[in-house]
């Protein structure tokens, strides 16, 4: 049954918008009229992106972000916000996945479960995509293949786990594991971002204050030194020179910062630049261990989830090497996959690489020997997750006093550089 996106007016004159399935537009109009909604615009959910191309020529855009298209006797407005949509967060995806698992676990067919899910989901982009997925499944496609057509929302990990669940007949169990995994990843990301938010705000505020001091305040204060017939201290000369440069060439500074960021990002996208950046992150004095722990926790948790869902080991390693988000560790995992294909164990190549701590390859070796690899990987993931939380909490606790000391030191340098010439002027006695 086709899925339509519609816009309409209620009896009170309020604009409404939604997604609903119906046999055709006429049936949809009748259904909505029974609900007290008068249809003003309707379009097929799976043809929205192609409508702009097939409908004809564009007649202009307005402030509302809509394009009016006409052609072949048709006239419609495409809302650009609906075409591009907003980002689907991990939390939104986890909630939808858990709801689908509950529906399928209750014995409801997949198509009916997807129909109910489309009605429940509130996120507009996810609702639209799920409507398209439901239509594909109703036409005979597998759920994994239908999800794979939307890689920006459903990752390779997600699609492969769904495919394994469909093959094993335990789709509801796999969906529960997938929801747990997605929620765990989203919770850990939110904890780290929340912990780093306050230091980031402090840095931004501190840099803004220093910029105002150097561009506005210091030039006015240091004007009193122009007529002084004394040698200024080196700290004052540095302060005046820096302030003068910031005042006269502020536009160069503002232009150089984004240019530098663009150049670094472009270099990091190259193969050599990516390897250098990933190696630097792992070797960084304070943040390096945290980056490594995050990657190892993601590696262990993802591999455990895939294996417990029935995904073959070699396929799971292919997926995991892209999940760790570090080319150095990804190369180690790729070498481990090749070694396993030749008959080696998982632990041996990980140990040879020197990139995985002894805790990881020892527990993996024990899991391989005892047949409890998934459980051992889960233990590794939980261990590193807790260590990451402890490290991040400790770093944020230390960052606050360190930043206060640094800001205080900067202010002290400015005050000292201004007061020293004034004190010299007061002690100067003309002959």
Map out the domains of the chain as residue ranges: 3-84, 90-184, 198-431
Q: Is the pLDDT of residue 74 over 70?
A: no
Q: Which residues contact 181 (CB under 8 A, 6 or more apart)?
A: 301, 302, 305
82 pLDDT exceeds 50?
no
Residue 167: pLDDT above 70?
yes
Q: What is the pLDDT of residue 50?
A: 36
Nearest to 178 by CA among 200, 197, 159: 159
pLDDT at residue 47 is higher than 80? no
> Minimum mean pLDDT among 35-49, 91-105, 150-164, 342-356: which range?
35-49
Residue 79 has pLDDT above 50, yes or no: no
Q: Which of 143-147, 324-328, 358-362, 423-427 has the lowest mean pLDDT?
A: 423-427
Q: b/e map of 59-72 (b: 16 or more CB within 10 Å)?
A: eeeeeeebbebeee
Three-state DSSP state, 374: helix
pLDDT for 259 equals 92
| Distance in angstroms (rounded) separating the CA atoms of residues 21 and 25 | 10
Do the two domains 90-184 and 198-431 of this chain adopt the same fold?
yes
Distances (CA, A) of 332 to 105, 346, 353, 354: 38, 11, 6, 9
What is the per-residue pLDDT across 205-232, written as a single tens digit (0 to 9) for each? Answer: 878 887 887 777 777 777 777 666 667 7
pLDDT tens, position by position, 102-120: 888 888 888 888 888 888 8
CATH number of 90-184: 1.20.81.30
Residue 367 is encoded by which pair of tokens?
């899991």
Question: What integer pLDDT is reported at residue 426 of this predicted model?
Answer: 63
**What is the spatial distance between Cα 50 and Cα 71, in angstroms, rounded to a whole number?**
14
Query: According to the model, what pLDDT value does residue 56 have?
Result: 36
Rounded to an integer, what distance in angstroms lies between the CA atom of residue 71 and that of residue 78? 14
The length of the chain in residues reads 431
> What pLDDT digit, counting tens, does each position of 232-267 carry?
778 888 888 888 887 788 788 888 888 998 998 899
Encoded tokens for 128: 């639209």
* Closest to 186 measured CA to CA, from 326, 91, 119: 91
Spatial distance between the Cα atoms of 195 and 395, rounded to a whole number of angstroms: 9
pLDDT, mean over the chain: 77
pLDDT at 230: 65
Asked which of 48-52, 98-102, 233-237, 359-363 is least confident by mean pLDDT, the reply is 48-52
pLDDT(20) > 70: yes
Rg from Cα positions in the chain = 30
pLDDT at 66 (0 to 100): 42
CATH topology of domain 198-431: Receptor-associated Protein (1.20.81)
Task: Kindly report the number of other CB atoms within 10 A of residue 286's CB atom.
Answer: 10
**Average pLDDT of 274-278?**
88
Nearest to 96 by CA among 74, 60, 123, 63: 123
Q: What is the model's pLDDT at position 48? A: 41
Q: pLDDT value at position 107? A: 84
Tell me how far apart the alpha carbons of residues 268 and 278 are, in angstroms, rounded to a whole number. Answer: 9
What's the pLDDT score for residue 81? 44
């Amino acid at each position: 049954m086709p899925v339509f996106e519609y816009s309409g007016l209620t009896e009170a004159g309020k604009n409404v918008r939604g997604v609903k399935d119906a046999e055709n537009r006429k049936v949809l109009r009748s259904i909505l009229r029974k609900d007290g909604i008068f249809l003003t615009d309707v379009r097929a959910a799976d043809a929205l992106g192609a409508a702009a191309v097939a409908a004809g020529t564009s007649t202009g855009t307005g402030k509302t972000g809509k394009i009016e298209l006409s052609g072949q006797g048709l006239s419609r407005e495409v809302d650009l916000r609906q075409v591009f949509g907003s980002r689907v967060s991990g939390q939104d995806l986890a909630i939808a996945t858990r709801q689908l698992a509950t529906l399928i676990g209750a014995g409801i067919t997949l198509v009916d479960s997807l129909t109910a899910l489309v009605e429940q989901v509130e996120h507009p982009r996810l609702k639209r995509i799920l409507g398209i997925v439901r239509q594909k499944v109703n036409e005979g496609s597998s759920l994994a293949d239908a999800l794979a057509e939307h890689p920006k929302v459903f990752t390779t990990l997600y699609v492969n786990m769904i495919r394994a669940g469909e093959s094993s007949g335990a789709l509801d169990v796999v969906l529960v594991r997938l929801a747990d995994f997605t929620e765990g990843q989203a919770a850990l990301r939110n904890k780290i971002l929340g912990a780093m938010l306050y230091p980031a705000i402090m840095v931004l505020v501190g840099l803004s204050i220093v910029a105002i001091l150097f561009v506005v305040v210091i030039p006015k204060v240091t004007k009193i030194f122009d007529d002084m017939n004394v040698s200024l201290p080196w700290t004052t000369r540095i302060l005046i020179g820096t302030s003068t440069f910031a005042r006269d060439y502020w536009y160069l500074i503002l232009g150089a910062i984004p240019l530098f960021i663009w150049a670094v990002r472009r270099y990091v996208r190259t193969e050599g630049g990516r390897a250098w950046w990933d190696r630097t992150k792992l070797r960084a004095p304070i943040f390096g261990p945290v980056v490594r722990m995050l990657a190892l926790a993601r590696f262990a948790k993802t591999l455990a989830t895939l294996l417990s869902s029935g995904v073959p080991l070699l396929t799971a390693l292919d997926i995991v090497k892209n999940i760790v988000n570090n080319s150095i560790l990804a190369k180690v995992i790729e070498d481990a996959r090749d070694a396993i294909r030749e008959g080696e164990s998982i632990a041996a190549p990980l140990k040879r690489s020197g990139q995985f701590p002894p805790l990881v390859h020892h527990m993996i070796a024990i899991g391989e020997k005892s047949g409890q690899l998934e459980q051992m990987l889960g233990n590794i993931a939980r261990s590193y997750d807790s260590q990451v939380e402890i490290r991040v909490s400790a770093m944020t606790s230390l960052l606050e006093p360190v930043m206060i000391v640094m800001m205080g030191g900067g202010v002290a340098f400015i005050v000292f550089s201004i007061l020293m010439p004034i004190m010299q002027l007061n002690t100067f006695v003309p002959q």
